[in-house]
Each structure stands twice: as C-alpha cells, then as structure tokens.
Amino acid sequence: QRVDDEVDVTNVCTTHITNMDSLFVDETTFNQDISAWDVGNVTTMSAMFRSAENF
C-alpha cells in the first residue's frame, strides 16, 4: 500500500514486513527519514523508489 505524505512514518515498526514493492513509486512529495526502518525481513523491494523524486 502506498504511503500517505501526511503520515509520519519515521518510527513505523517494519520488522515483520516482507514486501515493499513499489512503496514509493512515482512519489514526488514524500521526504521523510526512513533510515531507522528494519528491512531485515524484506524479500521484495522491486521498484520501491522508481520515479521517486525527493529522497
């Protein structure tokens, strides 16, 4: 599911997420720090940042 620009996701628990496919695709305004996300269980990040302009 796409991320809403208005929702603060900097501290979201991502430990059990396995699929981040197209999460930020075509995103033009999202610009939050996601460096603390635990992506250790993610197996799919295909096109996660495709055409995302503000990372």
In which domain, by residue range, is 50 found? 1-55
How many domains does the structure of the chain reveal?
Answer: 1
What is the pLDDT averaged over residues 8-18?
Answer: 94
What is the pLDDT averaged over residues 10-37?
Answer: 92
What does DSSP assign to residue 36?
T
Structure-model confidence comparison of residues 2 and 14, the more confident one: 14
Q: Residue holding tokens 């997420």?
A: 17
pTM, to two decimals: 0.78
> Which of 19, 23, 11, 24 minimizes the C-alpha distance to 43?
19
Q: What average pLDDT does the chain have?
A: 89
Residue 16 reports pLDDT greater than 80: yes
